[in-house]
Amino acid sequence: MILPMSVLSKSELIQLYRRVSFSQKLHAIIRINRFPFAQIDSLVPKSGKILDLGCGHGFLAVYLGASSFRRSVVGTDISKSKIDIAKKIQSPKNIEFLHDFTNSAIKKKDYYDCVLAISVLYLMSEGMQKEILKKIAVSLKKGGRLILVEPNAEHAIGIMGEKIREFIMVNILRATKGESIVYHKESWWRKELGRSFSRIETSNFRESNLHLVYMCVK
C-alpha cells in the first residue's frame, strides 16, 4: 500500500502497473513518462473532492491522491476495461475508480472542488461537449475549478496527424472509446467555457505543443 502524502516518482507509478498485460504496461510506460504530473498537480486544490473524468488507466488520479491525503479523488471512465485495470493497481484509500458510461458523476450539484478532463472531450460530438461543459459547471462548487486539456485546432498540420492517430486508436485498434473526434480552436473553447466560468487561464501543455491546458474557475 502506498502511503498518502508522498509525491510518486514516474518509476513508482509505472511499478503500480506491473501486474497488467504487456500492451497495457507499454501504454502506461509511454504515457506516464511523457505526462507533466507536476504541471497539472499545481493547478488542483490540495484538498477537497476531485473528479478525474475520463481517467483512463487511472495514473493521474493515483498521483493526485498520493500527493495530498486531503484530496478525495474519484476517477471515472466510459471504458470498463480501463477502469478494471485502474481498480487492479494498489492505490491509497482516498482514491476510488468507477465505471461510468452515463457520466452520472457530474449529475451531482455544487459537489466537486475540481474536475479534470484531460484529453477526453475531443472524443465527443460538439453537442455533447457543450452539454458536458454545462454539467461539469453545475457539479462544481462556487470557486471550484475545471482543468481541461484539449488539442488546439489552430495547429492545422499537427492536428491532421493527431486526427489520423486518434482515428486509428478509436476505430481500428479500438484502444480508446469515443463517439467522434472533434477538435476546436482556443477561441471556441474560450467562448463555450465563458458561458459557465468566471475566469479562464490558458497555458501550454508540457506533454505536447499541440495541446492547451484551460484552468477555469466557476
Ligand X SMILES: C[S@@+](CC[C@H](N)C(=O)[O-])C[C@H]1O[C@@H](n2cnc3c(N)ncnc32)[C@H](O)[C@@H]1O
Please report, as ranges, the residues that interact with ligand X according to CB under 6 A.
31, 53-56, 77-79, 82, 103, 118-120, 123-124, 176-178
Nearest distance, CB of residue 170 and ligand X, angstroms: 9
* Residue placing its CB nearer to ligand X in the complex, 118 or 215: 118
Only one residue has cell 481498480, namely 87
Nearest distance, CB of residue 174 and ligand X, angstroms: 11
* Residue placing its CB nearer to ligand X in the complex, 74 or 123: 123
Nearest-angstrom CA–CA distance, 186 and 84 = 34
* Residue placing its CB nearer to ligand X in the complex, 67 or 103: 103
Give me the helices (H) in the chain, please.
10-15, 22-34, 37-41, 59-67, 80-88, 126-139, 156-167, 186-194
Nearest distance, CB of residue 128 and ligand X, angstroms: 7
In the three-class reduction of DSSP (H, G, I as helix; E, B as strand; rest coil), residue 10 is classed as helix
* Residue placing its CB nearer to ligand X in the complex, 91 or 176: 176
* Side-chain half-sphere CA neighbours of 44 within 13 A: 31
* Residue placing its CB nearer to ligand X in the complex, 54 or 92: 54
Nearest distance, CB of residue 99 and ligand X, angstroms: 10
Nearest distance, CB of residue 144 and ligand X, angstroms: 19
In the three-class reduction of DSSP (H, G, I as helix; E, B as strand; rest coil), residue 81 is classed as helix
φ and ψ at 147, to 5 degrees? -110, 115
Other residues' Cβ atoms within 10 Å of the Cβ of residue 9? 11
